[in-house]
Structure 1
């Protein structure tokens, strides 16, 4: 398809993408929570990776479709470019697969960083063999239909989250988080702060375990915020 049928959103800054690759969807959710963003960008719990070992980070491009119609997905993939994550707002359709390993293989060939499908896919074993991460709500062997036109690179609602073309999309074994483009840098900063805190906590937990095993003095295991909250609350042992 040499003709261009739509424009892709501007890619997120490469430095921000590099920083995001060191963070998990959970940490980014925590960052959004600190900003008071509703639902924290977390897609539905039922949306899970085909292969839990793969990590997905990229700029959102979107497809709006329904009832297992994958014609607009074909169009979007053949016009795709590296570093974009395709968000398929499939309206939670579970009756047909929106794509299989051939179409995902084409997405892999053009360099897409991932595919998120609010609906089903098929060819699970074939999808696992591809380098591209794929997320879906289930596996269904029934084939897609081709009707169109659908919509490409418009604001969509996918797996419980509003997604605009150009947003940051990050996925791992836990699921997918979408960060609105206008707060990406701030959310990454807050997520990095949380990562630093978690690394400190992990070190302390390990130190406690070692002290217990060695019979030496135990460090304080409870975080300071737990102690602060306990000072303001009380527990009764009465039934």
Structure 2
């Protein structure tokens, strides 16, 4: 069981590595289908997101009134956790500014949605980093409802295969996309990605100092 301090430290270290490097490490480890669909992009915030997955799922519903399970789910999220929303819906926003404020108060740095979000201007001003498939002004009341949280969810994957996200997996997003790192290999992936990042710094410096790309590939291997 990781302590809160350990979780926060791991998150801060992941913020210093690129999604592309994590993708390469996961490939090397045989986890070749961990990237979310390419239409899941940053729509608000700092364009860099890292955190432990707090999963939420829902579905279209014509039940009128507010969504009590959404409120319950969002008040359970904790520090350094990223809400990951399995939508099963279309054309509606799953949350906006006010829900984001509540999640931020609990220490969440952002969210990833297989669906829509609204209040992007305000989310951006809040610094609540949000990756979603599309903007949507239409609210969910009477259209879509949360049905579970902290259960495995499935989101479309970039390779065409779905990505299963378990509570406690690690989510990393930047302007290259979003990767999901299974909880059991978080430490291995982080250390390898940090090593790859350091290597890229050396390669970059060598090329700037006049080394040819061919020589760099010979000296440093895959780049």
| TM-score of the superposed pair, with normalisation by structure 2 | 0.83
Shift of 1:114: 1.2
Shift of 1:132: 1.7
8 Å Cα contact 2:45-2:130 kept in structure 1: no
Alignment match of 1:25 (pick from 19, 37, 47): 19
Are the aligned partners of 1:68 and 1:96 in contact in 2 as well (CA < 8 Å)? no
Corresponding position of 2:96? 100
Q: Which runs of 5+ in 1 are unaligned?
A: 1-8, 209-218, 230-239
Number of residues paired by the alignment? 209
- The correspondence for 1:155, drawn from 130, 146, 152, is 152
CA distance in 1, matches of 2:117, 2:49: 17
Structure label with greater radius of gyration: 1
Secondary structure, aligned partner of 2:44? coil
Q: Tell me how far apart the structure 1 counterparts of residues 61 and 42 of structure 2 sit (CA, whole Å).
A: 19
Give 1:191's aligned residue.
Answer: 193
What per-residue deviation string (whole Å, max 9, x for no partner) do you get for residues 139-186 of structure 1? Answer: 111111256451110111023221000011112222211100001111
Alignment TM-score, normalising by the size of structure 1:
0.78
Q: Establish whether residue 143 from structure 1 lines up as the match of residue 139 from structure 2.
A: yes
What runs of 5+ residues in structure 2 fail to find an aligned partner? 158-162
Question: RMSD of the alignment, in Å?
Answer: 2.7
Q: Please give the alpha-carbon distance, in whole angstroms, between the structure 2 residues aligned to 1:177 and 1:62.
A: 15
Instruction: Find the counterpart in structure 1 of residue 166 from structure 2.
Output: 164
In the alignment, which residue of structure 1 is the partner of 2:46?
A: 53
Q: Alignment partner for residue 38 of structure 1, among 29, 32, 35?
A: 32
